[in-house]
Amino acid sequence: MSVESLRGRDLLSMADLSVDELRGLLDLAAAMKTGKVNLRCNKVLGLLFQKASTRTRVSFTVAMYQLGGQVIDLNSSVTQVGRGEPTIDTARVLDRYLDVLAIRTFEQQELETFASYAKIPVINALTDLEHPCQVLADLQTVKEQFGQLKGLTLTYVGDGNNMANSLMLGCALVGMNVRIAAPSGYEPDGAIAQQATEIAAGSEVLVTQDPVEAVKGAHVIYTDVWASMGQEDLAEGRLPIFQPYQVNDPLLSHADEQAIVLHCLPAHRGEEITDEVMEGSQSLVWDQAENRLHAQKALLACLLGASAI
């Protein structure tokens, strides 16, 4: 597994990983999930979350405990971060206390500034631009189902948000075709789309406004909420714009017969995805959610240089 090079590194974007490192991480996550590999590290993880979280918070916490480490929840309401302490000051102090830090915030630039002042590994636990840890779990789930990644097609339908951005990069790295279907004005980041196109070696990176065309023959159908955290006041106005992008049975009928459905959660059932699809036989949403634990445990083990038990 080509993961030794990850020790001491940051993960701020999917693009921070090489093809071999990403494949090695996925292999390690699968081995740790089945118990074939057990690793240990007596380290301390800090969680600096400025956005609400269920799966990310719990999965990182459980992962660190299972590795034999400790977790400190640095909630902004009970730290000086919430009172306006400069990012660069917080970064230099936490660097002297912690072994690794996961940050969940709004601006990617704030994350990058933090990482530039801290010597410990810094992990992007979600920004408005990217969500790389989720994509690690997504790719693990797809590989579990199909036994491979290269040559498969993943179609993301909905808002061209942080998930769309990270999925483009992640799929390009592993040789998957990736199609993003989003309404005009809601496309994913153009620079990241270009970066994904440059990374892709023989695979397709497509951004379109046509959800039916994007779904045709796809092996993975993926969606997310139509208004991300911080955009809740815009949600109602987006409903008529995004209605044609709902993942429902008619749309799913255009995909490959063996296609699976993924959603990073939380889901607004009846909006971006129907109950029937969410609870249907093609949905692997709960396996996907579980894999957040295994993928992040593998990531932490690599960044911290965990040793075998």
Q: Across all residues in the chain, what is the average pLDDT?
A: 95
Q: Residue 79: what pLDDT?
A: 73
Whether 264 shows a pLDDT value over 60: the answer reads yes
Helix (H) or strand (E) holding 57: helix 55-66
Whether 1 shows a pLDDT value over 60: the answer reads no
Query: Is 238 marked active-site?
Result: no
Instruction: Name the token pair of 42.
Output: 């007596």
Read off the pTM.
Answer: 0.96
Output the CA torsion sign for 278, 161, 186, 221: negative
% pLDDT > 90, the chain? 90
- Which parts of 1-63 are beta strand (E)? 39-40, 44-49
Domains delineated in the chain: 4-130+292-308 (3.40.50.1370), 134-288 (3.40.50.1370)
In whole angstroms, how large is the CA radius of gyration of the chain?
19
Q: Residue 76: what pLDDT?
A: 73
Catalytic residue among 264, 288, 294, 296: 264
Q: Which residues share a beta bridge with 31?
A: none
Catalytic residue among 224, 238, 246, 302: 224
Query: Is 224 marked active-site?
Result: yes
Question: Of the candidates 265, 228, 230, 270, which has an alpha carbon nearest to the alpha carbon of residue 247?
Answer: 270
Catalytic residue among 108, 134, 140, 246: 134
Query: Is 288 marked active-site?
Result: no
Give me the DSSP letters along 112-148: HHHHHH--S-EEES--SS--HHHHHHHHHHHHHHHS-
Greatest Cα-to-Cα distance within the chain, rounded to the nearest angstrom: 54
**Amino acid letter for position 195:** Q
**Amino acid letter for position 21:** E
Residues in the chain: 309
What tens digit of pLDDT does each residue of 145-178 get? 999 999 999 999 999 999 999 999 999 999 999 9
Please tell me whether residue 16 adopts helix, strand or coil conformation: helix
Catalytic residue among 179, 292, 296, 302: 292
Query: Is 104 marked active-site?
Result: yes
Catalytic residue among 57, 131, 263, 294: 131
User: What average pLDDT does the segment 36-57 reach?
Assistant: 95
What tens digit of pLDDT does each residue of 171-215 get? 999 999 999 999 999 999 999 999 999 999 899 999 999 999 999
Q: Residue 156: what pLDDT?
A: 98
Per-residue pLDDT band at 309 (split at 50, 70, 90): confident
What tens digit of pLDDT does each residue of 66-124 get? 999 999 999 777 777 766 788 899 999 999 999 999 999 999 999 999 999 999 999 99
